A and B are shown apart, each in its own frame.
Chain A
């Protein structure tokens, strides 16, 4: 079936069978490979994207059912400027192999947008993103430092 997806500010038209997931549509049809297939079952979070501004698992979303704009990790940075969360992940060494990182970052962006800062709340919010390298404490540090930076920026604007 013919569908149109708004991805990172661009409208993409494609022809997919109804069973194609958003993850496979992004990766295999549109060449957007930031979202990763770590489990394909909604059990790891590596495929996390934003749909309509909210986090969602693209592996459990049928592409043909998506009607709201999609943001992937590729859509966060603009003009070669890293998003504050991306910069915080690099600075805090919140990644090792990096395979889960695009999904972690999409969840982290949602966490900072919601103003989540308490360490236990950050841990809970980020628990839908597995990291086998186990960078968890650094991920918590990255979310908190990016969040405080965003709040500082908001305060000065």
Chain B
């Protein structure tokens, strides 16, 4: 860890003005600072800022500083979000981490986390050790020859599926960004991960479609039963009328460099019967454009199967 200055800004203006790195729950930032992966000079503890509260008026609105465990316990939160939260990390970490911080968490790529290794995300231009390294956990969607790191958040997958928006404040004032536009695939610049500029702060998460979200779920597949990042996950919301899919929202995690919305699958499902055969046919579309590496080719079939499993769960066809 490199020396840094820790401040506790009393106002939002103070926080966004100072060129700070923001510290909330600390579960990502403190970890990466100890590894020297990030070395901010000025850290602002923002937990005293007023981005709290969960409201169900005018869509579901969640203050960015709400803890994961509190959000998961709120009755107004859709099942996909609750399950994504409860399947994340451990109860201790969920008590610490905020949902704003959760959306900002960094990849778990082991090469990113080791400063002795090349990594374009950490040190632009140094190369990507994962391309030819051990890449079982890495992405098959949204990759580039500069970065194949998987986005780590479960919550973000559920929120991307549910068309959530972020309220952002910064030195130039406030704005609203759909989460589907927030994250950036690595392309040539894996170090730029999202839409935030210097001093920008996520203040609130808004889920505008609670009706569709009412029939939603999150399925997470991993090597152990708990306390592990996803090999593959699927967040899905489904509106089925008379046995036919009227509307669908689907996103996948553990497979993409960003939370991966699957509009093609959604379109393919619309108007189809809610059967395993139709789900399996639509899931095939999820694999279009996948770019497997040496050790993660299994994620392609696993994505299809996880998708079918999530959809069956929403239509009562899956026994957990």
Q: Which residues of A contact B (CB under 8 A)?
A: 1, 17-19, 21, 40-42, 45, 48, 54-57, 60-62, 64-65, 107, 110, 123-125, 127-129
Across the A-B interface, the 9 shortest Cβ-Cβ residue pairs: A128-B90, A18-B6, A127-B226, A54-B95, A55-B92, A19-B1, A127-B227, A60-B30, A128-B92
Q: Determine which of A18, A42, A123 lies in contact with B4 in the assembled complex, contact meaning CB atoms within 8 Å.
A: A18
- For the residues of A in contact with B, the DSSP-based class is mixed
Inter-chain contacts of B47 with A (CB < 8 A): 65
Inter-chain contacts of B6 with A (CB < 8 A): 1, 18, 62, 64-65
Rounded to whole Å, the gap between the CB of A4 and the closest CB of chain B is 14
Q: Roughly how many angstroms separate A55 CA and B1 CA in the complex, as a whole number?
A: 25
Inter-chain contacts of A125 with B (CB < 8 A): 91
Q: Roughly how many angstroms separate A156 CA and B314 CA in the complex, as a whole number?
A: 44
Q: Which of B91, B93, B227 has the most CB of A within 10 A?
A: B91
Inter-chain contacts of A60 with B (CB < 8 A): 26-27, 30-31, 93, 96
Inter-chain contacts of A61 with B (CB < 8 A): 26, 30, 96
Q: Roughly how many angstroms separate A1 CA and B226 CA in the complex, as a whole number?
A: 38
Rounded to whole Å, the gap between the CB of B110 and the closest CB of chain A is 12
- For the residues of B in contact with A, the DSSP-based class is mixed
Q: Roughly how many angstroms separate A48 CA and B93 CA in the complex, as a whole number?
A: 10
B239 CB–A CB distance under 8 Å: no
Q: Is the CB of B26 within 8 A of A45?
A: no
Inter-chain contacts of B43 with A (CB < 8 A): 18
Rounded to whole Å, the gap between the CB of A157 and the closest CB of chain B is 26
Q: Is the CB of A42 within 8 A of B93?
A: yes
Q: Is the CB of B33 within 8 A of A107?
A: no
Known interface pairs A18-B5, A19-B33, A127-B226. Does A107 touch B23 (Cβ–Cβ under 8 Å)?
A: no
Rounded to whole Å, the gap between the CB of B8 and the closest CB of chain A is 8
Q: Roughly how many angstroms separate A55 CA and B96 CA in the complex, as a whole number?
A: 8
Q: Is the CB of B96 within 8 A of A128?
A: no
Inter-chain contacts of A1 with B (CB < 8 A): 6
Q: Roughly how many angstroms separate A84 CA and B194 CA in the complex, as a whole number?
A: 48
Q: Size class of B's contact patch?
A: 20 to 34
The chain A residue with its CB closest to the CB of B70 is A54
Rounded to whole Å, the gap between the CB of B299 and the closest CB of chain A is 23
Q: Is the CB of B95 within 8 A of A55?
A: yes
Rounded to whole Å, the gap between the CB of B260 and the closest CB of chain A is 26
Rounded to whole Å, the gap between the CB of B278 and the closest CB of chain A is 32
B268 CB–A CB distance under 8 Å: no
Inter-chain contacts of A40 with B (CB < 8 A): 34
The chain B residue with its CB closest to the CB of A57 is B92
Known interface pairs A18-B5, A42-B31. Does A62 touch B92 (Cβ–Cβ under 8 Å)?
A: no
The chain B residue with its CB closest to the CB of A130 is B227
B3 CB–A CB distance under 8 Å: yes
Q: Is the CB of A65 within 8 A of B27?
A: no
Q: Is the CB of B90 within 8 A of A45?
A: yes
B154 CB–A CB distance under 8 Å: no
Inter-chain contacts of A62 with B (CB < 8 A): 6, 23, 26, 30, 45
Inter-chain contacts of B4 with A (CB < 8 A): 18-19
Sample of 20 more A-B contacts, CB < 8 Å, known A62-B30, A127-B227, A129-B90: A17-B3, A18-B4, A18-B5, A19-B1, A21-B34, A40-B34, A41-B34, A42-B27, A54-B69, A56-B95, A57-B92, A60-B27, A61-B30, A61-B96, A62-B45, A65-B26, A65-B47, A125-B91, A127-B225, A128-B92
Q: Is the CB of A127 within 8 A of B23?
A: no
The chain B residue with its CB closest to the CB of A126 is B91
